[in-house]
Amino acid sequence: MIFIIFFLVAFFNPWTIGSANNTIIDLLPLLLFGIYIIRRNYKWYIIIIVILLIRLVVQLNFFNYRSPYIYGDIVRFTIFIGSCFAFTALFKDQATLNRFAEYAWKISWIFIIVILIAYIFKIDLLSIDYQNRWVWYAFSQGGGPNFSVVFTFLGLLRLYYLNERYPVSNLKIRINNIIKMFPYLLLCILGGTRIDLFIFILAMLIYLRPSKIFYVFFLIGAFLIPYFINLLSSIPSFGRIESNPTGDRFLIWYNFYNIILNNKSAFWFGFGPGGIMVNLFDFSNKLTTAYLYQTHNMFLQIWLNYGVIMLIIIFILYLMFIFKIINKGKKNAIIFSILGFVLLNELFDGTYLFIGCQWVFAASYALLFNSINVSVNKKVLN
């Protein structure tokens, strides 16, 4: 029953807290599974919270700016870390993880049906933004990307579950399972996120376990993808997946480096959580004054907020984490797609910033953490 409540609220959230941020969705893992933090992970969680609070006090008392985003940033990051711990403890039991995956699959089909009804009858639960991306009301602030990451995660979770439960299924069964994934793939595309589309297709290929020669043809086909994308871009709602080499991220990264390199204190210790009011440039060399809040890269975000020293520490720990998964990861090959899912989103966004669907990445990290944990409890959690 608790999983039914989780997914119904996550997909059809009836509450809005404070503003368009449906914070209740991000709080769900802590509200429903938070007891596991106390049982297994509470020490690390408290340490992280204390570090964040110390940094907050230092920023407010010794730095020469006040960010309107500072408290929200602290809250979102705290909730995200807590959710990672909660899911990690929850998924330590394979039977509980299987039940979670089964409910996710069943209720997500209800989700898909409701989305189609909303689209056909033009119900305002579903909208299309200025970039032609589909946006679902329950996690609307993140726009189309949230739509894509939710359906990509649901697809990856399903493939992981199938590969775990039925590791020796034949090719015919695997192809049939892939066909059932097409609605998820389509909705991922309509969310307009190229990264997640790439990961979704890669996960399907890994699940099919093709021969090595197939990957040769796949690499050749990768060179043809731009032409295929141009064909799709003529179809309504598919235009967003067309590549744009002068996109916003390049501008944001350019501004970040200008700002961080010109401030010695911030270079070493960061500006603190929140945003910083600075002069920003666009590609036409026009100057605007605005808050730089998101760098659209987890590692640059750490550098901006906490400095290059913390960046080096986190980067080394993250590399160790990746190598552990590669060397000690479970035989379930879909785990590498889940690694690609979180890593690419970290490189181009920062997963804790996906407001309204943080739980997707928290659950993904939990699967990764447990893939390198040799002491997995096989008893069913009550």
Positive or negative torsion for Cα 238, 129, 135, 357: positive
* Cα–Cα separations (whole angstroms), residue 126 to 12, 114, 143, 319: 12, 10, 11, 39
**Per the domain annotation, does 354 fall within a domain?**
yes
pLDDT in tens, 162-221: 999 998 889 899 999 999 999 999 999 999 888 898 899 889 988 988 665 555 665 566
**Per the domain annotation, does 376 fall within a domain?**
no
Q: Taking a C-beta distance cutoff of 8 angstroms, is the pair 241, 192 a contact?
A: yes
**Per the domain annotation, does 62 fall within a domain?**
yes
What total number of domains does the chain contain?
1
Positive or negative torsion for Cα 189, 193, 194, 200: negative
Which residue has 């705290």 as its token pair? 78
For residue 106, the enclosing domain spans 2-209+311-371
pLDDT at 239 over 50: no
**Per the domain annotation, does 186 fall within a domain?**
yes
**Per the domain annotation, does 232 fall within a domain?**
no
pLDDT in tens, 11-54: 998 776 555 557 889 999 999 998 887 777 667 778 888 888 88
Confidence of residue 381 (pLDDT cuts 50, 70, 90): very low
pLDDT at 244 over 60: no
pLDDT at 101 over 80: yes
If one counts every other C-beta atom within 10 angstroms of the C-beta of residue 265, the result is 12
**Per the domain annotation, does 220 fall within a domain?**
no
What is residue 223's predicted lDDT score, i.e. its pLDDT? Answer: 57
What is residue 240's predicted lDDT score, i.e. its pLDDT? Answer: 43
pLDDT in tens, 65-92: 667 788 888 888 889 999 999 999 999 9
